[in-house]
Structures are given as structure tokens and as C-alpha cells.
Amino acid sequence: MIGYEIRKVPDKGRALFATVNFKKGDTILQETPLVSSQFSWNAACKYLACEYCMKPLETAEENISRLSGHKGPESTISLPYSECCPVKSFKALQTICPNCPTRYCSPDCLNTAMERYHRVLCLGSEYNNPGHPLNVLNDAWKKIHYPPETTTILLCIKLIAMYKQTEQKQALFEAIQDFHHEFINENLMIAHKMLGENHQNNLNNLFALFSQSFDFTGMEMFKNLDTFKRLFALIGENGQGIGTSSFADWVQNVSKLNLPTDEKLAADELIDSCYAQLEEVTGLQFLNNEGSALYSIESKANHSCVPNAQATFPHSNHNLHLIATRDIQCGEEICISYLDDCLLSRSRHSRQKELRENYLFNCSCQKCEEQKGEPDVTSDEEYEDGESMEED
């Protein structure tokens, strides 16, 4: 039984509401995205992931050894409890596009990608050619949008490829249109945040490269700057971040084992040591396979600074599970946080500033309404003021 429905709310747009009672930890919905993609910089850092579903393609041991700088048989990192790693080595799977080196976690993902978009996007022998229009576009995106990434131009590319391949063009067009928020039309403001101060030139340059990346015969409506702006804004507004990690999965599963005390202590020491090496080598900035996706239903969940639900990826792929983080009553709005935990803990003014800049709205959730009397300063300013007061 479906336990949710989408309603229109005045001055807010569409929203997700519970139609049954949910207990903390319950799965509210499961959803496969319309489209997903690994971030460009994430892929450039050699994170091996299925091109279709983003499942990691290396074991936890391979992952931690590579990220901490250990390579080959001389690697000093060996992880016990291999049964706690849900990922098989890519070398053991060998599911590769027959025409290019694109990697998949299974024949099913390869076949699905082929059916949806990969026949158009497959570069064949041109895969490693930096001069191919798609590679030029991707490289330009990386030079414009440095980490931390929040989205990727590849989502636009995949959507166009899907449209070119499908025989159900009207249905796909309507699915894409469904992501537009009827109360937000500041496409350039979203582009400004995504592309920086030089956003107009960056946007024009991206569009020029985008226009050269496809044969747009029969799809001339997409070869239009205004359409590109709207598509770009749609991605920026609705993209849901995805993070999958074979090592993180291994750590979580090991923590659930009923181990003798000495083995538990040894496992904890090993995990602490691994994270220490990761921090030294990567600065903890690139621990996961990361990307973005468009989810038709989950995208209707509005923000709250006191959310009652959270997007999770329990299968280490792009299949999203929306989980209740507290009990939710029938008729209650289901809300997630657009901010990370660190930002959620900051002042009301800091949260409002972040939401206005990134999502173009002022939050009126219970927490923000209760904190209306707080000083209108950002958390950084508060911290600086505190330092000044101590110095005085």
C-alpha cells in the first residue's frame, strides 16, 4: 500500500504528505531515478562505479588500499571479514560495453543503459579521445565547476540521449517537465550559484559545446539557449546527491557483528587507522562514489530544518529509500533537509542565507519560526564576534 500522496500547498507548490502512520526507521518509499550520473571530478579521481546505477566496482579492501596510496600486492592494508563487503571486485565481473570501456556492475545495468541512452552516448574507439565533443564538454564542466560538486552537466546529456533513443518522446518530455517548480523561474539565479560570478559567459560556453555534442535532428527544441537554461536550472533545483562506498558499507557491517571483545577492539583500531590514512592522503574529501540523480517523487519533498525523513541508499546504488527519522502521523507533511548536518546546526540566519542562495526560498519551518528573534548574523559572524569579545 502506498503511504504517501502529492498535494499542492499555497505559496509552497507541491508537497509530499503521509497517508498512513510511519514509525521511526520505516521506509516511506523506494524510488529508481529518471536519470543519474557520477560526478565528473569523482570519476576523474578514478572512483570505479557502475555507469548506470553508481554501484561501486571495487571491494572495500581495494577501495581503502587505493585511496590511502597503497597499490598492488605490496599493499599493507588487508581487511578481515570479507563477507561484510557487499561489493565484488570489478575484475571479477568484467561487465563492459562491447564497443567502449564503459563499466557496469551487471549485464542488467549494461542492457538497461543501452536501452535508455548508451547507444547514443557510446563513444566506441573515441572513448579516450580528448577532442571528442562530449569529452570536450565534460572537461569544460570540470574547469568551471570544481569540487565539491553538487550536480553535473552529464545529467543534461543523458536526458537528451534518452529523448533521442526513446519511442515514447511525449511521455519522457512530460516526466522532465514534471520537475519544474511552478513558483520558481529564476533560472539565471540558479545558474549564477552553480557557475560562479562569470555565470553568463560560462553558461553560453557550455551551451555552445552542448550544441555540438549531438545530432539534434528532430530535437531542435533542445538546441536553444533558453531551453538549455531551463534544463540546467531543473537539474540544479531538483538534483539529489548520491553517495555510495564499499568501505563505508564494510565498516557499518563489521560494527554489527557480534565479535569477542579482543576482536572488536582490533577491528575498531583497524578502522581508525584506515580513516587516519585516508585523511592524510585525501583530506577526507573523496571517500565515496558520488553523483546526482532526478527522483520524480522524492523531489516533491520540501525542506525543513527539523526534517522527519532522510534519503538513503542502502543497496550502494542509485535506488533511493526515503526513511522516517522520527514517527510521522497520517496527514503530516513529509520533509527532508536540503542542508547537511553541519549547516542544520548553524544559526537561523545562516540557514536562511544558504537556502536563499542555493534554492531561492525563505524557510518557514517550525525551527525557523521559533528562532525569528535571533540576531540576523551568520554563524561565521557570530564566531568572529565571539573571538573579538574574548580579545577585548
Question: What's the burial of 139, exposed, middle or buried (CB within 10 Å: 0-12/13-18/19+)?
Answer: middle
Residue 68 within any structural domain of the chain: yes
Residue 80 within any structural domain of the chain: yes
Q: Are residues 229 and 364 in the same domain?
A: no
Helix, strand, coil percentages in the chain from 3-state DSSP, rounded to 5: 45, 15, 40
* DSSP-derived 3-state class of residue 198: coil
The residue behind cell 519533498 is 301
* DSSP-derived 3-state class of residue 301: coil
CA 163, distance to chain mean position in Å, is: 22
pLDDT of 392 reads: 36
Residue 51 within any structural domain of the chain: yes
Whose CA is closest to 35, among 213, 160, 167, 158?
158
Residue 171 within any structural domain of the chain: yes
pLDDT of 70 reads: 62
pLDDT of 146 reads: 80
β-partners of residue 240 are: 293
E strand map for 194-332: 240-244, 289-294, 302-303, 309-312, 320-324
Total number of domains in the chain: 2
Q: Residue 384's domain spans which residues?
A: 348-392
Residue 63 within any structural domain of the chain: yes
Q: Are residues 360 and 231 in the same domain?
A: no
**Cell matching residue 98:** 562491447
pLDDT of 199 reads: 66
Q: How far apart are CA 219 and CA 211, in angstroms?
A: 11
Average pLDDT in the chain = 85
Q: Are residues 211 and 356 in the same domain?
A: no
Residue 18 within any structural domain of the chain: no
Q: Are residues 41 and 160 in the same domain?
A: yes
Q: What does the pLDDT profile of the chain (392 residues) look like in tens digits?
A: 789 999 998 877 899 999 999 999 999 999 999 999 999 998 888 788 999 999 998 888 888 887 776 655 555 678 999 999 988 766 655 689 999 999 999 999 999 999 999 999 999 999 999 999 999 999 999 988 888 788 889 999 999 999 999 999 999 999 998 987 544 444 445 554 555 556 677 888 899 999 999 888 888 888 888 888 888 888 888 889 998 888 989 999 999 999 999 999 999 999 998 888 877 776 555 678 899 999 999 999 999 999 999 999 988 899 999 999 999 999 999 999 988 888 888 888 889 888 877 777 788 888 998 888 877 666 554 444 444 333 33
pTM of the model: 0.86
Boundary of a domain, candidates 186, 218, 241:
241
pLDDT of 229 reads: 82
Residue 258 within any structural domain of the chain: no
Boundary of a domain, candidates 211, 241, 271:
241
Q: Are residues 63 and 209 in the same domain?
A: yes
Boundary of a domain, candidates 215, 241, 267:
241
C-beta separation of 151 from 190 below 8 A: no
Residue 25 within any structural domain of the chain: no
